[in-house]
């Protein structure tokens, strides 16, 4: 119970992660979208979803299966996978959505949990109670208390991974309490009761709710955004750390003749052009409008899924290359109310910046005033305080940036509407001064003093940039080609350890892990004793034992809080 779920982070950007989720041996790459299949009126069959969209998980409704006599017999007989003809992950919902729509349901928490056990759901839900976005607080609180009781009831009796609903309406104190309680007991946490918020385009509230939930659950919890199926919000929700989405929207919207795009919803009847080249739009063109009945719904649903999966792929690519903020800056300008999410994001910037990575290869595009509040900017400004320089370049929103840092991320790839050539400036700086400033920036004030005048710097023949630093004939550091980041060798690592007291720059590990780390194996989260909070994902860190003996140097794979929250997966990639 709960033991069959594992989740490992592969790549990170802002609060987003690309992860590998395994449920009962079945793998899902996250962020993932689970199309909702209505067993009574399938628009596309799970098999078609698998064949055409390579879908690895679908969601269906256990309450519908329970209440429909014919389907109930069939699903109890064949199991939910047999019924759907789908051997991937099948998630089921409990009737909470119907509860929200109709005010009551004809089942109990116990019954619907038992039913999901019987039909073999991989993921299931208890009967959480989604409160209305503007419910009175007393009502929302009452509904939350009942939801939390039902969560307790599910614990220990569910044979599936519980998709544990976190409710609390728009009241952030209620959301925080719910998240703390649910986050303690369940590995898959669902932000519930947000469909109405999404329908009303209250994106700023959506940000506050998701951020509040994330701040109050351990970071290794997989987070599902219940009913968030519109591609226009995937980048936003992913940036806040949502891993799973479910979409009934592709089919429901299709029934209304609504045509999804990553920038918002269009109505097919109003279109004189189709702004899409998916197989459906390519094949039919405007004749899509002339189709009728089920065929029209089906084809429109296929288009809706194509754009949804396209956007999801775009988000994952952005996480991989570290350009999610660039994507957000574009997406959040699709609608004025989406732009309001930028304001809320900025209010959570301090928190989000602790999750973000400190270096990367992507370009930094200054695309508008929100750049001031980007997590990279918050982190960079903090680090710039460590560096003292007489010659600076103006780079809004970072402020005055020492010329010595012009070759590292994000300054090297900084682009603003009025960007001027920096190559010239680069040529005017002595390599050793650049190196010292970069040391201060990466490791802390005074780290630059560890570079004596006598070091020998070798440059890359191809790029002309610094590549190796020798001290007294020994390799002291190298510079990573992709982002010019300083990679300390043993001697430098020892000097850093000397210069900066414990726990600065450190990840300390259990004695049990020491022999493996000595061999160059990765440090796993569960062996970490302590970590310096000032570190950021992608920083170079000193791996030490409990007595502060240096074991190795490595690259931090997660943020410090994630390292402490995770029991599984890599914390430091050791060189």
Give the active site residues. Answer: 93
Q: Is 94 in the site for ligand GUN (CB under 6 A)?
A: yes
- Cα–Cα distance between 45 and 51 in angstroms, integer? 10
Among 202, 214, 303, 514, binds Zn ion (CB under 5 A): 303
Among 46, 59, 93, 451, binds ligand GUN (CB under 6 A): 93
Considering only 27-35, 192-200, 299-307, 317-325, which stretch makes contact with ligand GUN by CB under 6 A? 192-200
Q: Is 370 in the site for ligand GUN (CB under 6 A)?
A: no
Considering only 89-97, 297-305, 338-346, 361-369, which stretch makes contact with Zn ion by CB under 5 A? 297-305
The maximal CA–CA distance of the chain, rounded, in angstroms, is: 84
Among 28, 55, 107, 128, binds ligand GUN (CB under 6 A): 128
Q: Is 323 in the site for ligand GUN (CB under 6 A)?
A: no
- The listed partner (Zn ion, ligand GUN, none) that binds 560, CB under 5 to 8 Å by sort, is none
Looking at beta carbons only, is 92 or 216 nearer to ligand GUN? Answer: 92
Residues 465-488 as b/e (b if ≥16 CB within 10 A, e otherwise) read ebbebebeeeebbbbeeebbbbbb
Q: Is 305 in the site for Zn ion (CB under 5 A)?
A: no
Q: In sequence order, which residues have a C-beta less than 8 Å from that of residue 501 and are 6 or more positions away?
A: none
Whether residue 455 contacts residue 476, with contact meaning beta carbons closer than 8 Å, is answered with yes
Looking at beta carbons only, is 97 or 364 nearer to ligand GUN? Answer: 97
Whether residue 28 contacts residue 6, with contact meaning beta carbons closer than 8 Å, is answered with no
Beta-strand relationship, 222-225 and 244-247: parallel
Q: Is 227 in the site for ligand GUN (CB under 6 A)?
A: yes
- Cα–Cα distance between 208 and 189 in angstroms, integer? 16
- The listed partner (ligand GUN, Zn ion, none) that binds 569, CB under 5 to 8 Å by sort, is none
Q: Is 448 in the site for ligand GUN (CB under 6 A)?
A: no
- The listed partner (Zn ion, ligand GUN, none) that binds 278, CB under 5 to 8 Å by sort, is Zn ion
Q: Is 195 in the site for ligand GUN (CB under 6 A)?
A: yes
Q: Is 311 in the site for ligand GUN (CB under 6 A)?
A: no
Considering only 45-53, 93-101, 313-321, 323-331, which stretch makes contact with ligand GUN by CB under 6 A? 93-101
| Nearest-CB residue for ligand GUN | 192
Number of alpha carbons in the 13 Å side-chain half-sphere of residue 15 = 31
**DSSP secondary structure code for residue 389 in this structure:** -
Number of residues that bind ligand GUN (CB under 6 A): 13
Question: Least Å distance between CB 306 and Zn ion?
Answer: 5
- The listed partner (ligand GUN, Zn ion, none) that binds 97, CB under 5 to 8 Å by sort, is ligand GUN
- The listed partner (ligand GUN, Zn ion, none) that binds 94, CB under 5 to 8 Å by sort, is ligand GUN
Q: Is 299 in the site for ligand GUN (CB under 6 A)?
A: no
Question: Least Å distance between CB 191 and ligand GUN?
Answer: 8
Question: Least Å distance between CB 276 and Zn ion?
Answer: 3
Looking at beta carbons only, is 199 or 498 nearer to ligand GUN? Answer: 199
Contact map string, positions 229 to 268, toward Zn ion, x by CB under 5 A: ----------------------------------------
DSSP string across 196-210: HHHHTT-HHHHHHHH
3-class secondary structure, 568: coil
Residues 136-175 within binding reach of Zn ion (CB under 5 A): none
Q: What interhelical angle do 137-154 and 172-185 show, nearest 10?
A: 0
Give the CA-trace dihedral at 354, 357, 362, 364, to 10 degrees. Answer: 30
Number of alpha carbons in the 13 Å side-chain half-sphere of residue 37 = 26
Question: Least Å distance between CB 267 and Zn ion?
Answer: 14
- Cα–Cα distance between 161 and 118 in angstroms, integer? 14
Among 107, 125, 212, 261, binds ligand GUN (CB under 6 A): 125
**DSSP secondary structure code for residue 430 in this structure:** -
Among 15, 120, 133, 165, binds ligand GUN (CB under 6 A): 165
Question: Least Å distance between CB 209 and Zn ion?
Answer: 31
Q: Is 187 in the site for Zn ion (CB under 5 A)?
A: no
Q: Is 291 in the site for Zn ion (CB under 5 A)?
A: no
Contact map string, positions 130 to 159, toward ligand GUN, x by CB under 6 A: x-----------------------------
3-class secondary structure, 158: coil
CB-count burial class (<10 Å; 0-12, 13-18, 19+) for 369 = exposed
- The listed partner (ligand GUN, Zn ion, none) that binds 432, CB under 5 to 8 Å by sort, is none
The three-state DSSP-derived secondary structure of 89-150 is EEEEECCHHHHHHHCCCCCCHHHHHHHHHHHCCCEECCCCCCCCCCCCHHHHHHHHHHHHHH
- Cα–Cα distance between 328 and 232 in angstroms, integer? 10
Q: Which residues pair with 364 in a beta bridge?
A: 414
Q: Is 35 in the site for ligand GUN (CB under 6 A)?
A: no
Considering only 4-12, 88-96, 372-380, 474-482, which stretch makes contact with ligand GUN by CB under 6 A? 88-96
Question: Cβ atoms within 10 A of the Cβ of 455, count?
Answer: 17
Looking at beta carbons only, is 113 or 307 nearer to ligand GUN? Answer: 113
DSSP string across 27-77: EEEESEEEEB--SSS-SS-HHHHHHHH---EEEEEHHHHHH-HHHHHHHHH
- Nearest Cα to Cα of residue 147 among 174, 184, 123: 174
Among 127, 276, 438, 572, binds Zn ion (CB under 5 A): 276
CB-count burial class (<10 Å; 0-12, 13-18, 19+) for 104 = exposed
Q: Is 281 in the site for Zn ion (CB under 5 A)?
A: yes
Question: Least Å distance between CB 224 and ligand GUN?
Answer: 9
- Cα–Cα distance between 350 and 442 in angstroms, integer? 19
Q: Is 97 in the site for ligand GUN (CB under 6 A)?
A: yes
Residue written as token pair 């919803």 = 265
Q: Enter the tokens of residue 367.
A: 């695309």
Among 252, 278, 330, 487, binds Zn ion (CB under 5 A): 278
**Site residues for ligand GUN per CB under 6 A:** 93-94, 96-97, 125, 128, 130, 165, 192-193, 195, 226-227
**Site residues for Zn ion per CB under 5 A:** 276, 278, 280-281, 303
């Amino acid at each position: 119970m709960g033991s069959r779920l594992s989740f490992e982070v592969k790549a990170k950007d802002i609060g987003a992660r690309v992860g590998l989720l395994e449920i009962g041996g079945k793998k899902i790459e996250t962020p993932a979208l689970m199309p909702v299949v209505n067993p009574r009126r399938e628009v596309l069959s799970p098999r078609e979803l698998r064949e055409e969209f390579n879908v690895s998980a679908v969601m269906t409704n256990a309450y519908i299966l329970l209440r429909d006599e014919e389907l109930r017999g069939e699903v109890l007989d064949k199991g939910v996978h047999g019924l759907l003809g789908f051997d991937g992950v099948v998630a089921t919902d409990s009737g909470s959505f119907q509860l929200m729509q109709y005010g009551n349901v004809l089942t109990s928490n116990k019954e619907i949990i038992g039913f999901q056990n019987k039909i073999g759901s991989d993921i299931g839900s208890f009967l959480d109670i989604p409160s209305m976005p503007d419910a009175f607080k007393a009502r929302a609180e009452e509904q939350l208390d009942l939801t939390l009781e039902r969560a307790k009831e599910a614990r220990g009796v569910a044979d599936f991974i519980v998709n544990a609903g976190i409710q609390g309406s728009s009241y952030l104190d209620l959301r925080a309490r719910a998240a703390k309680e649910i986050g303690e007991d369940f590995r898959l946490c669902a932000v519930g009761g947000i469909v109405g918020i999404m329908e009303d385009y209250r994106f700023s509230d959506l940000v506050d709710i998701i951020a509040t939930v994330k701040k109050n659950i351990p970071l290794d919890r997989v987070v599902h955004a219940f009913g968030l199926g519109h591609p226009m919000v995937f980048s936003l929700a992913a940036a806040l750390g949502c891993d799973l989405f479910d979409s009934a929207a592709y089919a429901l919207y299709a029934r209304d003749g609504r045509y999804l795009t990553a920038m918002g919803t269009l109505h097919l009847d109003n279109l004189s052009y189709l702004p899409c080249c998916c197989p459906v739009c390519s094949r039919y063109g405007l004749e899509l409008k002339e189709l009728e009945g089920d065929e029209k719904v089906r084809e429109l649903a296929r288009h809706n899924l194509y754009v949804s999966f396209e956007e999801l792929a775009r988000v994952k690519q952005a996480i991989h290359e570290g350009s999610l903020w660039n994507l957000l800056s574009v997406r959040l300008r699709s609608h004025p109310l989406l732009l309001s999410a930028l304001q809320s994001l900025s209010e959570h910037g301090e928190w989000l910046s602790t999750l973000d990575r400190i270096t990367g290869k992507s370009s930094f595009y200054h695309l508008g005033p929100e750049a001031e509040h980007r997590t990279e900017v918050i982190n960079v400004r903090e680090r710039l305080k460590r560096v003292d320089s007489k010659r600076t370049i103006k780079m809004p929103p970072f402020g005055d940036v020492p010329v010595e840092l012009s070759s590292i991320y994000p300054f090297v790839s900084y682009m603003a509407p009025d960007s001027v050539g920096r190559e010239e400036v680069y040529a005017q700086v002595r390599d050793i001064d650049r190196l010292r400033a970069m040391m201060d920036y990466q490791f802390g004030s005074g780290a630059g003093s560890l570079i004596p005048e006598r070091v020998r710097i070798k440059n890359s023949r191809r790029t002309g940039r610094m590549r190796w630093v020798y001290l007294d004939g020994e390799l002291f550091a190298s510079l990573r080609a992709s982002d010019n980041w300083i990679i300390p060798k043993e001697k430098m690592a020892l000097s850093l350890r000397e210069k900066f007291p414990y726990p600065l720059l450190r990840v300390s590990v259990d004695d049990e892990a020491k022999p493996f780390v000595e061999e160059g194996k990765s440090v796993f989260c569960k062996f970490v004793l302590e970590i310096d909070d000032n570190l950021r994902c992608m920083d170079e860190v000193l791996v030490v034992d409990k007595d502060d003996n240096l074991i190795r140097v490595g690259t931090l794979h997660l943020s410090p809080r994630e390292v402490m929250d995770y029991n599984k997966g890599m914390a430091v990639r050791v060189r």
